[in-house]
Chains A and B, each alone.
Chain A
Amino acid sequence: MSTAGFKDYAQHFAESRAAVVSLAVSLAFVACAIFAPLLSPTDPYDLTQLQLSDALKPTGSTRMLPGEEVRANIRIDGSATSVQPATPAKTHVTLVAEPCGLNCLGVGVQPEGTRLANLQIRNLPAGATVEGARKHPVQSWWTVDNPEGGKVRIASNGPLPATFTFLAIARSMDQETDFVFHLGTDSFGRDMFSAILYGVRISVFVGLVAAGAAMVIGTGLGLLSAWRGGITDAIIMRAVDFMLGLPALLVGLAILAILGNGVSKVVLAIVIVQWSYYARTARSFAMSELGKEYVEAARCLRLSPARIMLRHVLPNCMPQIIVLFTLNIASAISLESSLSFLGVGLPLTRPSLGMLIASGYEFIFSHKYWISIYPGIVLLVMIVAMNLLGDRLRDLNNPRLDR
């Protein structure tokens, strides 16, 4: 198409404001899909970051860091103190010790101001006590509940030994952070906003790849059918009739029931469902193009049939096929979401929008609406936008609607 033709086309397209908006929304979703890792505040696929304490938090609540237990062996050697953490994993809170005057040693935690549930000191040398602590009835364990400022003091009437070692165990309370779950969390404690962004990414990816593969396969078969005619045509078109006679969702369910779940299998299922639309459309448009004189001219110029089909007939069928492609992306996305909603589509660890809606479904009667509603709204907007876009393209290609 020439530049002038394209400009004309764009102008026609822009006459419908709904179409422009839907184009913008569709492009925005594609951008979301591409840049999801940059846009999303958390990575919903990283299971180690999930905390059960964050599960089912409503919209706008903040993330809580759960309380942890930190142990460290603290060794005093003259004026030097050394802290050896005894907890294997990395923790937010670390223990520190510093002298606090004569015969006095302070033990506290970093960062400053962390609220502790309690702090326990074990294995102190004889004569030393911990201020404000209760002692274990048998062992020499000293526990301070809710220590002020997160610090305890070890004091002794006489001088402390020059060298000694003790064990400190701090239990911190749940900490509030300034990270806000703008759209709440789901039952695994995933941030819904991030999950939706990644869900859009998966849905758009599945929609584009599946509809694209179906377009290539279906168009190829349609062209073959139109070109060969006869028995080839009959076989392909009866297969198309057969596929169109079955409900798409049922076929998808059956295929995934056999193959198991996973992104590639969902794509395969959608391709199997959708190729027939392209085959039928491509065949009918190719047949009408084949009847035109320029095809006869190409045959008179003794061009090969493959060249005639691919270079002469196919480009003239492409506008209609692209319209179908736009409409079928939307239906591929909704089919994928339906399959995921029914639990046969994508794995739970990589949720698509349909899977998110499904996972919120069990909580919707306990007023935890946000898990299902927000992905639902996003899916709705995305599909409506793409359908409006496809409708507009179809109208532009229909000369009967042209004034």
Chain B
Amino acid sequence: MNETIFEARDLSRSFSVGSSPLRDFADHFLRDRPPKVLRAVDNVSLSLREGETLGIVGESGCGKSTLARMIAGILPASSGERRFRDEPYESFLARNRDALKVQMVFQDPLSSLNPRLRVGDIIGEAAVLHGLVRRPQIKDYVADILSQVGLPADSMGRYPHQFSGGQRQRIGIARALAVKPDMLICDEAVAALDVSVQAQIINLLMDIKQDSGLAMIFISHDLGVIRHLCDRVAVMYLGRVVELTETEQLFASPLHPYTRMLLEGMPKISLQRRRFMPIQGEIPSPLSPPSGCHFHPRCPMATEHCGRIRPELREASSGHVHACLNIEPC
């Protein structure tokens, strides 16, 4: 159970902004200006064990979705290394049928389903094409998958727009499950749903996890959902992981000031009057991130060297890493 299914080392992804071949050419020769680069994900290292659920949490624009797409193999990495069961991604992704082992559930339940395909085709297409199931058996196969996600078998003849948001998300999950993945990445899979439906989908995901022992990466900005679902949590800020530990550890004794402020912002049921202390300031533009520790302009603990030194992840206790210069090693 403790074997690593996925590992990322120093994974980075940058996008050049407003670029075209012609402008790059002009910039290179005429203006002598470096092209604008957005580092969406900046040297992220993390690993996922078989059967484990890893949560990734962070504000909008912190690079969660880019990271998810790199892990899913949809986006190439700018630098760094990805390994699936100790095999580098380059060779792993080249074998289409093995690459199916990594699947993804998307945020928007409507735009993630092709409006012109019937649900049966959406779910069954890849399984047939990759030879997981033969065409004559596809109806039974799809019906089976549909029942796993709690949809009636007659849904397969209908189109996505005929379903509600929660049902569509179930279709999206069914599509991922239909190719028998070992690892599932849920990118804000419940963010677009209302709260009661969120709970249904989360329960569904937990059932699936229990039944099939899927390893899961669950990306969300909702700490409550993360706490409910995940074994370990990584906190991201502006493209970097700032803290990574067991869920209970994180909620019990957060170390990084950003994590602490996030947790303080969580709504709680309490009889006392609370004052929310919002994190000061806006999230900085990832096009020109602050020097040193990205968080230092908003950090109450910031000292003068926070703006100069880029903090590396360091271990506070076993399995609990953080990236803050001002926490004394204990």
Contacts and interface: CB of A to CB of B under 8 A. Distances in A.
Interface in B78-120: 96-97, 99-100, 102-104, 106-108, 111-117
- Residue among A2, A293, A315, A316 with most chain B CB within 10 A: A293
B104 A296 contact: yes
Given A293-B107, A297-B106, A297-B175, A303 B125 contact: yes
Nearest to B98: A302
Contacts of A294: 111-114
B159 interface: yes
Nearest to B129: A303
A265 to B, nearest CB: 36
Given A231-B21, A293-B107, A293-B108, A300 B115 contact: no
B126 interface: yes
A393 B88 CA distance: 51
A297 B172 contact: yes
A301 B111 CA distance: 16
Contacts of A293: 106-108, 111-112
B264 to A, nearest CB: 33
Contacts of A302: 96-97, 99-100, 126, 130
Nearest to A292: B111
Nearest to B75: A296
Contacts of A299: 74
Q: Give the secondary structure class of A's interface.
A: helix
A137 interface: no
Nearest to B127: A301
A312 interface: yes
Nearest to B22: A234
Nearest to A5: B159
B115 A301 contact: no
B284 to A, nearest CB: 26
B238 interface: no
Contacts of B130: 302
Interface in A274-311: 292-294, 296-303, 307
A101 interface: no
B69 A301 contact: no
B179 A2 contact: no
Contacts of B111: 292-294
A301 B126 contact: yes
A230 interface: yes
B72 interface: yes
Given A293-B111, A316-B114, A300 B72 contact: yes
| Most chain A CB inside 10 Å of its own CB: which residue of B69, B74, B130 | B74
Contacts of B166: none
B109 to A, nearest CB: 9
A234 B21 contact: yes
A367 B73 CA distance: 76
Interface of B: 20-22, 69, 72-74, 96-97, 99-100, 102-104, 106-108, 111-117, 125-126, 129-130, 159, 172, 175-176, 179
13 contacts: A234-B20, A293-B107, A294-B112, A296-B106, A297-B106, A297-B172, A300-B73, A300-B74, A301-B100, A301-B125, A302-B96, A302-B130, A316-B115
